[in-house]
Structure 1
Amino acid sequence: MEEFNIFCISDVNEHPKQLPRREEGIYSQYIPTPVPEQLIIFGLGKWPSQVGELEVEVALTYKDVHLCLGMFTEQTRALCWERKHCEVPGIMSSEAEQGMAKLCIEFITGSTNSQTDKAKEENSSDKKINESTPKISKKGKTKDASKPVKQKRRSSITKGEKTPTGPTPKRSRTGKGKALHTDNDTTTDKENIATENGLKSSPETNKFTRMIEGGKPRVAICKDLTSRAPHPSSRWGHSMCMTDNNTAVVIGGQGERQQLVKDSVWCLNPVTRKWTCPEVFTESQKPEYRMGHTATYDPTLRCIYVYGGSKNQRWFHDVHMLDVQEWKWTLLKVAGKAPTRAYHSATLYRNELWIFGGVYPRPDPQPDGCSNEIHIFSPVSENWYQPIVNGEKPLCRSGHSATMINDQLVIFGGWDAPICYNDLHILDMCVVEWSKPKVLGTPPLPRSWHASCALANSRILIHGGYDGNLALEDTHIFNLGTLSWMRIRMDPTPTPRCGHQALSLPYYHENQEQDEVLIFGGGDNDGAFFHDLISASIPLNPALDHTMTVSKPEILENIENQMEVK
């Protein structure tokens, strides 16, 4: 049976948000002030046995002011609180207040229980014995995640390079990217299904998703949707985002002969799977062709913000706004010091653009470097600023992925050449605090320039990428609810690629039992670029891929190089 989890709805236009369990028996989440007109709070799963029939208070706290919203019991696990029917302290309801109130539900953890509670625990334990839930034991040898498969000889990064200026088709074979691993590489993929003590937490549940329990795992099916009709030219290093009107927009990138693409903007209708090339107008200055930039959709203003990127040896720090209703470019005039970045990540959170990491130009003797700083652009005030950040920052990197789930920004991978990473960090956007959780399962190989997107049930898809030597083809899922990795099977497996983009399509009905992910473009870092459009159906209970990924011993590679010289 599921552990007890608590969810909160503070906006009718948003999905329920799961409250993190900060400590044993304490669930909390931050809510902006003034407090909303209505809050719906409910719990799912097995009621904590140590609480029994006692009542549990649901309360808001802000600047030492306490407001009781209601009580939870084993029979009453949901409450609807409305501000108009309660006496709310002025400090919580004032429009002048722009702070964060703490929603907290604290369960009593005691060593003694009533006779009724003990009986319930005995009945519960009997039920657990009779359940037929399978347990997977830890068998088999540990996989070596540090050695990628040598599929065929490809070019790699030269030893003299510090950081990339972008995915480069031609590399010399004199050097090889190094891999930096996490401390969690010794756990096997089978642990993602179950552990002997059970999982610590369960995935988020909402009306759009449901986990298939006990069902047979299914293989993720891939379909090539590439049509002979007009389509974007082959490219990598482009951006792709979904807009409100169910349209995916592709912007920029680099294609054949390392030329930046001239057919910069394309639109895809996910339903008809047809591409169109809109006529785009310019109000002031048209953005230069570029790659390694980000494109982020703002549903409030119905526009796309294009920031940063590079063009040959040039680097950008400008912000352009694309109105997706009139298809018109506008160069934003901003205040504050704008960072110069490429191969960074950009995330829209509370109407502001959060930038993390990326490559930036640096004076000699080192031509460029990577960042681990957070910069925020406010479209409302049109200025840049840096927040106060808590916790231990990730190492400097570029080409990483940043995926938002609720208020948690999950950073994975990236590199600061020649070192590739496969570590995972989480930024709590509410309090701007970094954490590096201990994860279960075998993480993906170190990589950069991979594709990622959010799936149902608080999961994140990671596909492909570049390990410093090869383009990759594997697919992994990280479950934020259970903090676990799994490698899944794809049939057929897409061509190895990096510098591509992936996005998850919205759900069309409540009982949908799989996510549909669209993958577009990319390159193999060996001179080939792609324009194919792939649809991947990712089941809620996907089949695992137990393929062991190893590379040739270093001595064999040295022998090959010597034979080539002869």
Structure 2
Amino acid sequence: MDEFGVYAIFGVNGPPQRLLRAEGSCRVSAAVPPSVRQVVLFSSGPWGERICVNAELNDADQIPITIGKLTPYNKCLSWEQWEEETWTDGVTLNVSLEGGNLTNSQPELIAVNEYTPKNPTAPLADRELSGKRKREQSTEEDGGDRMSEARGEENICPNGVKEKATPVRKGKGQVKSQKLFGNGADASKVKAAANEAGATPLQNAARTKSRQAKTPTQTSSLVGPSGRWGQTLCPIDAQTAILIGGQGARMQFCKDPMWKLCTEDLSWVAAETLAEGPTPEARIGHSAVFDPDSKRIFVFGGSKNKKWFNDVHILDTQSWRWTMVEAQGKVPPLAYHSCSMFRGELFVLGGVFPRPNPEPDGCSDSLYIFDPHLSIWYQPIVTGDKPSPRSGHSACVMQERYIYVFGGWDTPVCYNDMYMLDLGLMEFSVVKTSGKAPSPRSWHGSAVLSETKFLIHGGYNGNNALSDTFIFDIDTNSWTELKLAQLSTPRAGHSIVTMETPDHHGYSEDSSVSAGRTLLVFGGGDNEGTFFSDVTSVSVEDLLAAA
């Protein structure tokens, strides 16, 4: 296999079958046998100028389900449809190649040789499915204990098991989510899942068929991102923010991982149609930071099931092209860390890192710095009282000199302490605060409101998602609690940013619309079975006035 080729394995016992070759059609369609419940796709040979291979499944109703992308950095992917009752007839695998010497032709139809086992016993996949159903049925009988079993474990996602529609607020640009959950959960796996980065209690014994959105490269009926938590929302200019990643219902990583939010009317555009090159693999608990000088977004770390990441992907927002950094130096795979941009470098603090069994995954108290100019990681010498190991905390850069670190989680403890890192002295110190402080929490949202104030909202305390809002003043080191109807929905794992948005209530002599700063809240989960996909907006001026 010295020349480039893309191969597929249909089912656990099927032989590899070549779909694409170095010389041939750049698009291939293959009918998936009805008995097949797993598809594995992989490449072999040198990639050359080829960029990526897109793969998706279409059912009989022509509704696509994106499997993912093969790239020179990610040469294998798989799809297992175990959560469905049946694998419907008429499913087609569509594979398309981008880059290289393309042949502009109609999709080539490939005949799949269905594997017939000699042993008449049930295939492994069916036995696994049967076992999963039995476990789920037994779990429904003792479902009352599943949340108590999850409490205190590392990184249990703020979601639950109730079937519940996403609340929809009446307002411009807000997007309604579909129902997300059925009843029932696999409590027997909660504890094991808690030791995975971003692990969540397994949900959904109800076998309603999942209807995924069309892929971003096609005309999509989806007008906004699906409900999710653990994503990032990264502003790149006064009117635009980029949404990356996230996880939604049934522990499924979002098939629509990248969106562009236009704050002029709070509308969404599928951003992957604009970007070139291999995009980062689906993940949660990662960080995304925009460098205004280079106009680039830096995506670092995160996790996907049992897979951990310490890679750095860069999106150039001028050319809309992704690149992956071949970085020097050592940084561990991390998820639910904080990442701050200061003078063109990334400051990564804390987070969860994997440890071999039988030890559970642990939290870090280390500070790592990434220098994009040299493509190198290094650890600075820091002094003072640094924060204890934690994940799910927040970090706000204030006055281009200080990083304020609040809260976080290290099993079984949640924190509500505050630390400050002086970036000039590289010295940590404990911040002694006054006023009513937020209760201990992790996976909360934070945003800088002014030179001296930042906001903390929501989060997860190990039992419940929270809905309270606080503003911290660094001049007085004091907390102020706000009562806001717009932010009254409990949520955790959500994104909060401040943006320049039109203020239709303000008028000037030159224009009927003046710009104002607005706090935008997207996504998250409420620990009761709901993932959110709405956008809530609050005037920063009103927030500062209330504080």
Percent of aligned pairs sharing the same letter: 43
CA-based RMSD of the aligned residues comes to: 2.7
- Whole-Å separation in 1 of the counterparts to 2:309 and 2:544: 42
Shift of residue 432, structure 1, vs aligned partner: 1.0
- Whole-Å separation in 2 of the counterparts to 1:168 and 1:492: 20
1:327-359 superposed Cα distances (whole Å, 9 cap, x missing partner): 221111111112210000111111111100000
* Structure-1 residue corresponding to 2:230: 237
Partner of residue 239 from structure 2, selected from 237, 246, 250: 246
Q: Is 1:360 the counterpart of 2:349 in the alignment?
A: no
Q: Is 1:437 the counterpart of 2:431 in the alignment?
A: yes
Partner of residue 387 from structure 1, selected from 364, 377, 380: 380
Q: Is 1:299 the counterpart of 2:301 in the alignment?
A: no
Partner of residue 226 from structure 1, selected from 140, 150, 174: 174
Task: List alignment gaps of at least 5 residues for structure 2.
Answer: 1-143, 162-168, 177-221, 509-513
Instruction: Rate the CA distance shift 1:348–1:251 in 2: closer, same or farther, 3 A.
Output: same
Alpha carbons 2:493, 2:524 under 8 Å: kept: yes
Alpha carbons 2:158, 2:526 under 8 Å: kept: no
Instruction: Rate the CA distance shift 1:485–1:238 in 2: closer, same or farther, 3 A.
Output: same
Shift of residue 298, structure 1, vs aligned partner: 1.2
Higher relative contact order (CA 8 A, sep 6+): 1
* Structure-1 residue corresponding to 2:406: 412
Q: Is 1:468 the counterpart of 2:462 in the alignment?
A: yes
1:58-112 superposed Cα distances (whole Å, 9 cap, x missing partner): xxxxxxxxxxxxxxxxxxxxxxxxxxxxxxxxxxxxxxxxxxxxxxxxxxxxxxx
Alpha carbons 1:157, 1:468 under 8 Å: kept: no
Instruction: Give the 3-state SS of the residue equivalent to 2:237 in structure 1.
Output: coil
Shift of residue 154, structure 1, vs aligned partner: 10
Instruction: Rate the CA distance shift 1:233–1:160 in 2: closer, same or farther, 3 A.
Output: closer
- Whole-Å separation in 2 of the counterparts to 1:276 and 1:412: 33
Alpha carbons 2:458, 2:491 under 8 Å: kept: yes
Mean CA deviation greater in 309-318 or 509-518: 509-518
Shift of residue 491, structure 1, vs aligned partner: 2.1
1:250-306 superposed Cα distances (whole Å, 9 cap, x missing partner): 1000011110001111111111211111214443x4321000000010112211111
- Whole-Å separation in 1 of the counterparts to 2:534 and 2:543: 25
- Whole-Å separation in 2 of the counterparts to 1:268 and 1:154: 40
Q: Is 1:163 the counterpart of 2:148 in the alignment?
A: no
Instruction: Give the 3-state SS of the residue equivalent to 2:439 in structure 1.
Output: coil
Instruction: Give the 3-state SS of the residue equivalent to 1:250 in structure 2.
Output: strand
Instruction: Rate the CA distance shift 1:223–1:413 in 2: closer, same or farther, 3 A.
Output: farther
Task: List alignment gaps of at least 5 residues for structure 1.
Answer: 1-152, 172-220, 545-566
The structure with more radius of gyration: 1
Shift of residue 158, structure 1, vs aligned partner: 3.3
Give the residue type in structure 1 aligned to 2:409. W
- Whole-Å separation in 2 of the counterparts to 1:223 and 1:333: 44
Instruction: Rate the CA distance shift 1:502–1:263 in 2: closer, same or farther, 3 A.
Output: same
* Structure-2 residue corresponding to 1:342: 335
Shift of residue 506, structure 1, vs aligned partner: 3.5
Alpha carbons 1:169, 1:258 under 8 Å: kept: no
- Whole-Å separation in 2 of the counterparts to 1:388 and 1:340: 21
Matches within 5 A, 1:47-126: none
- Whole-Å separation in 1 of the counterparts to 2:429 and 2:354: 28
* Structure-1 residue corresponding to 2:283: 290
* Structure-1 residue corresponding to 2:528: 526
Instruction: Rate the CA distance shift 1:491–1:372 in 2: closer, same or farther, 3 A.
Output: same
Partner of residue 318 from structure 2, selected from 300, 321, 325: 325
- TM-score when normalising by structure 2: 0.58
- Whole-Å separation in 1 of the counterparts to 2:159 and 2:240: 31
| Number of equivalences | 341
Instruction: Rate the CA distance shift 1:162–1:255 in 2: closer, same or farther, 3 A.
Output: closer
- Whole-Å separation in 1 of the counterparts to 2:318 and 2:375: 21
Alpha carbons 2:231, 2:493 under 8 Å: kept: yes
Shift of residue 419, structure 1, vs aligned partner: 0.6
Q: Is 1:506 the counterpart of 2:504 in the alignment?
A: no
Shift of residue 481, structure 1, vs aligned partner: 1.3
- Whole-Å separation in 2 of the counterparts to 1:239 and 1:280: 18
- Whole-Å separation in 2 of the counterparts to 1:232 and 1:318: 25
Instruction: Give the 3-state SS of the residue equivalent to 2:323 in structure 1.
Output: strand
